[in-house]
Amino acid sequence: MRDNQVRDGELLWLTTDDVPAPVLLDRDSSRTVAGLGPSRTAVPTQLCVGGALAAACIGAAAIIWSARSTEDAAPFVTAAGLTAAAALAAQLARRAHAEPSLFTAFSAIAVILAAVTGVVVVPAGPPAAHLLLASAAALSVAVLQLRFASHGHTALTVLATTALLCTAASATAIACNLAAATSGALLATLALAALSSAPRLVIMVTRIGPGPPDADDTDPLTSVGQSRATLAHDTLTGIVIGTSLAAAMGTVLVGCVGDERRFPVPATVFTIVVGVTLLLRTRIHIGVGRRCALAVCGFAGVATGFALTAIAVPHHAHWLGALAAVAGTSALMPLVGITPSLTARRAAEIVEYVALAAVIPLACWIAGVFDLVRNLALT
């Protein structure tokens, strides 16, 4: 009892109350740091799919490089065989495995390799012809995989939409013998037209709209099923992302060859107008994927226009840099709770209408239509 500091003459109170269990105070900081670390789960799905697609792109570049160095059919046979194998693997993954990312990854690889097959099928030819064959082959495989898809509709719709727009633009460029800048302007214009009609296209494709009225039918209208509504949202997201990518590709093509044609003014204005149109379209779309695609592709168009302007006037490029830095801070407005007023929203809507109306005249300016009409009037 002396060990517990109980001395002679002290009163002890004996009771039957339960003694609380001792509480462990963990003062080991290393254990606390280890507990707050990321969970040790399996490899992330995004990393697996991204690695597979990156490897497929590297292999595609190697096949194209091999086709430029040799004239035999080995690159074409290799690309076609890999395309068929990837498409077959996608179907097997859809039937035998429950992981939806497997089908999407194999389908994307099949589309990439199909585009490579279209590029190497003809050794020589203009770039527009190679683009036509590549986009047509990619479109065929994407539509085929989309026909049998039970999931992954968004990614396949993105590939199919982009390939369809590239096919239409390259076919027109070959038929009309258009220049590279004109082809880029045509691609961006077609993409904006498809973006504007995307909701109606989705309603027609997914058949979620009301049917034609029937005088003899007195039954109430059935509601749209959950699966069809989800398919409609996925399809709309894919079309919006695909058209945004095609518009960005067109603006970049116009910007890259604009200096060669020695009239950077129409190319600069066109790229900025297309970029502003895409940026303003983020107001009317919901979803992270749609808004991110519109914003990133819109910034690509505006950045191309800024680059052309900086190249044209290098002595005043610092003012452009300051303008870009200040204008970029407007993207932080939602983070501080600043919402645009009704007047600002109406002004943005008017600017979007003006930008859309200016796309076709600017594309005609790049194509040289105004010069042709002027020369015809003089003669």
220 located within any domain:
no
Residues 232 and 348 in one domain: yes
Residue 147 confidence class, pLDDT cut points 50, 70, 90: confident
On whether both 89 and 130 belong to a single domain, the answer is yes
Q: What is the mean pLDDT of residues 261-289?
A: 86
Same domain, 182 and 321: yes
Q: Are residues 146 and 185 in the same domain?
A: no
Summarize pLDDT for 288-301 with one digit per residue, the tens.
Answer: 899 999 999 999 99
Q: What is the C-alpha to C-alpha distance for residues 250 and 191, in angstroms, rounded to an integer?
A: 9
Instruction: Check whether residue 320 and residue 183 sit in a common domain.
Output: yes
For residue 47, what pLDDT is reported? 87
Q: Is the pLDDT of residue 217 over 60?
A: no
Q: Is residue 212, in this structure, part of any structural domain at all?
A: no
**Is there a domain that residue 34 lies in?**
no
CA atoms within a 13 Å half-sphere pointing along the CA-CB vector of 331: 14
pLDDT at 261: 46
Domain that holds residue 301: 178-207+227-331+340-378
User: Are both 139 and 192 inside the same structural domain?
Assistant: no
Minimal CA–CA distance to 244: which of 183, 186, 304, 191? 191
Of the three residues 151, 169, 196, the one that is the final residue of a domain is 151
Give how many domains the chain has, as a whole number: 2
- 151-186 pLDDT, tens digit each: 788 999 999 999 999 999 999 999 988 888 899 999
Same domain, 363 and 243: yes
pLDDT tens, residue by residue, 38-85: 666 667 788 888 999 999 999 999 999 988 887 788 889 999 999 999
Residue 298 included in any domain: yes
| pLDDT interval class at 189 (50, 70, 90) | very high
Q: Are residues 52 and 182 in the same domain?
A: no
Q: Judge if 70 and 132 occupy the same domain.
A: yes
In a domain? residue 237: yes
Residue 156 in any domain: the answer is no
Does residue 241 lie in a domain region? yes
In three state form, how does the secondary structure of 270-317 look?
HHHHHHHHHHHHHHCCCCHHHHHHHHHHHHHHHHHHHHHHHHHCHHHH
Look at residue 160 and tell me if it is in a domain.
Answer: no
125 and 185 fall within a common domain: no
Residue 121 and residue 202 share a domain: no
Which pLDDT score is estimated for 140? 94
Better-scored residue on pLDDT, 73 or 302: 302
Query: In whole angstroms, what is the distance from residue 166 CA to residue 188 CA?
Result: 10
The letter for the amino acid at 251 is T
Q: How much of the chain exceeds pLDDT 70, in percent?
A: 91
- Do 191 and 271 lie in one domain? The reply is yes
